[in-house]
Amino acid sequence: MGMSIKFSFFGKTTFSITLLGLLHFSPSIFASESAVELSDQQRACMSLRFDNFAKLERGDAATNVIESRFVKGYEMNATESLWAYKHSRLMGAPIPRSQKYLPDHCLVRGYVTPTIRFELRLPARELWNQKYLLNACMGFCGDVSPYPPMAGIVRHYATMSHDGGHTAYGFDGKWARNNEQGKIDFAYRANHVVAVAAKAIIEKFYHTQPQYSFITGCSKGGHAGVMAAKRYPNDFDGVIARGPTINYTDVNLVNCMDNARAILDERDEPILLPKDISKIANAVVNACDSIDGVSDGVISDPTQCDFDPQTLVCEAGKVQDCLSQQQVNAVKALYAPSKNAQGEVIYAGLPYGSETEWMGWVAPQLTQLKPFHYYAATEYLKYIAYPQALDVDYKWRDFSYEDEQENLAHVSNMIDADDPDLRDFKNSGGKMLVIHGWADAAVPAGATIKWYDEVEAFMESHNQEVRDFARLFLLPGAAHCGVDGPGNSTFDAISALEAWVVGGVAPSSLLTQKENAQGEVVRERPAYPYPQQAIYDGRGDPSKASSFKIGHLED
């Protein structure tokens, strides 16, 4: 799911379209671009708008470059610098907080048929690391963010972002109303065809294909990497899937739907308010923080926490620093897993320690809004879940997931990425890092663990080992696509992935860091591949990675 109010995920990019009389095209056009003499690569960049990319995949990936210009000595403004930094950490390809200037690069904007807009930034030829990096869009997509490409070129990747094939804002599903092609693009096609387009543009500009291609993203962007590994196993050599919404229909119509029912009363008014969240968060931390031997505000393994929300209920005559029974019941429902009529768990509940992200997801940030879980569930239900949109007066509380599973099969087959058969991706040499924060209040980490276990079981049944090509890392205190949770949210996943893809060195650990507002590292801790955990040695400085060893917390 993937959205966090802390990020400007949906800032719009306005394309500047220049209409030129192509019949009168001549080199003099380039002269008007600049009063100074242009280099060969500047001219090559500018000429991309006139190249013909209409025949890609025999027209199925027909691409048009609307804008191409060479950018030199660009200084980011304060907003660009901040969000490029934040997005770099979200992507697992961190850049310094102090980064102000962008490397010289070719900026390319365009679209792939029918309506998939993209931005691609190509480092100057002498800087390019010969690798392509796609940042897949998050949430319900809908905009072309400039910040991931800005971050990516700092590390010299040819980097792309796109809008998923439509224009939207937040959890807005109206673009999908009776729009089958739009749903297909959003579900899986967009990431494939923009990769085809990017590789063609890259070859035109650099006169060579990228040696390696990677896809990274969080939430729906994490889902995109897993989906690409299944549907297009040769598109990418490496995948970084953070907080992935792997079973997308269940995320929205089980997880978010049940949470929405828990936190809204019969009039659809919020049961929990912003002022209540800190009470719950503090109580959980006080109860479970020290289980791992370190009191740092981070719950290392929520499955080891045994907090009872009933302890928060107001005693007779008390109304301050406590919750009503209705509110306590809502909190209990959030922590509880979703079950079917037979009592079987079909989706994990929110983990203890995720409360720091409940603002927005569980309690509305503004009085005019409802919690995000409500919007994700109802917009998906009304506009995406069925081939024909529901009646505009449909009551969302009338929906029954169990009764509707057969009717949801069409969208599930299209958009869910939970098929455990990833043999083609493995056989192609692909490698995958799956990263999920334990403090995720949007997509519970338990759902990703369940999927990973299913992949492991399937691969083992075919005499293959999942850890040979895919490893899961669970990060204590890390939020959903956010970088400001209580845990360590900075990690260089792209370097670890490259070492695996290029050098054949599988990551035995992932160094995670906590940074302050100035970008200074204040805490480090290793993360080990699931099911292994980082255990405090009981002696060293808990802010140092060297004070942790590999093990299991319950041991």
Cα–Cα distance for residue pair 447/388, rounded to 1 Å = 29
Q: Give tens-digit pLDDT for 244-255.
A: 999 999 999 999
Q: Share the mean pLDDT of the chain.
A: 93
| Residue 409: burial class (beta carbons within 10 Å; 0-12, 13-18, 19+) | exposed
Instruction: Tell me the two tokens of residue 460.
Output: 């083992």
pLDDT at 6 > cutoff 60: no
CB distance 432 to 239 below 8 Å: yes
pTM for this prediction = 0.92
Q: Give tens-digit pLDDT for 134-170.
A: 999 999 999 999 999 999 999 999 999 999 999 999 8
pLDDT at 508 > cutoff 60: yes
pLDDT at 448 > cutoff 60: yes
Q: What is the largest CA-CA distance in the chain?
A: 85
Please report where in the chains the tokens 């905009």 appear, as a residue: 143
pLDDT at 7 > cutoff 60: no
Cα–Cα distance for residue pair 3/184, rounded to 1 Å = 21
Instruction: Tell me the two tokens of residue 124.
Output: 């100057």
CB distance 96 to 159 below 8 Å: no
User: Taking Cα atoms as reference points, which of 84, 65, 69, 79 lies closest to residue 151?
Assistant: 84
| Residue 162: burial class (beta carbons within 10 Å; 0-12, 13-18, 19+) | buried
Lowest pLDDT segment from 187-196, 308-317, 423-432: 308-317
Indicate the length of the chain as a whole number: 555
Give 112's pLDDT tier (boundaries 50, 70, 90): very high
Helices 190-206, 220-231: inter-axial angle, 10-degree rounding: 80
Q: Give tens-digit pLDDT for 169-195.
A: 989 999 999 999 999 999 999 999 999
Cα–Cα distance for residue pair 86/490, rounded to 1 Å = 10
User: Taking Cα atoms as reference points, which of 71, 146, 131 lies closest to residue 104?
Assistant: 71
Does residue 384 sit in helix, strand or coil? helix
DSSP string, 310-328: GGGBPPTT--SSSB-HHHH
Stretch (H or E) spanning 66: strand 63-71
Residue 211 CB neighbour total at 10 angstroms: 11
| Residue 555: burial class (beta carbons within 10 Å; 0-12, 13-18, 19+) | exposed
Cα–Cα distance for residue pair 514/524, rounded to 1 Å = 6
Residue 348 CB neighbour total at 10 angstroms: 20
Look up residue 51 and give its DSSP letter. Answer: S
pLDDT, position 554: 76
Name all domains of the chain by residue range, CATH numbers in brackets.
38-209 (no CATH), 211-247+419-507 (3.40.50.1820), 252-412 (no CATH)
Q: Give tens-digit pLDDT for 341-354.
A: 899 999 999 999 99
With vertex at residue 434, the alpha carbon angle to CA 428 and CA 438, rounded to the nearest 5 degrees, is 170
CB distance 188 to 108 below 8 Å: no
Give 555's pLDDT tier (boundaries 50, 70, 90): low
Give 316's pLDDT tier (boundaries 50, 70, 90): confident
pLDDT at 201 > cutoff 50: yes
Lowest pLDDT segment from 91-105, 212-226, 306-320, 531-545: 306-320
CB distance 353 to 236 below 8 Å: no
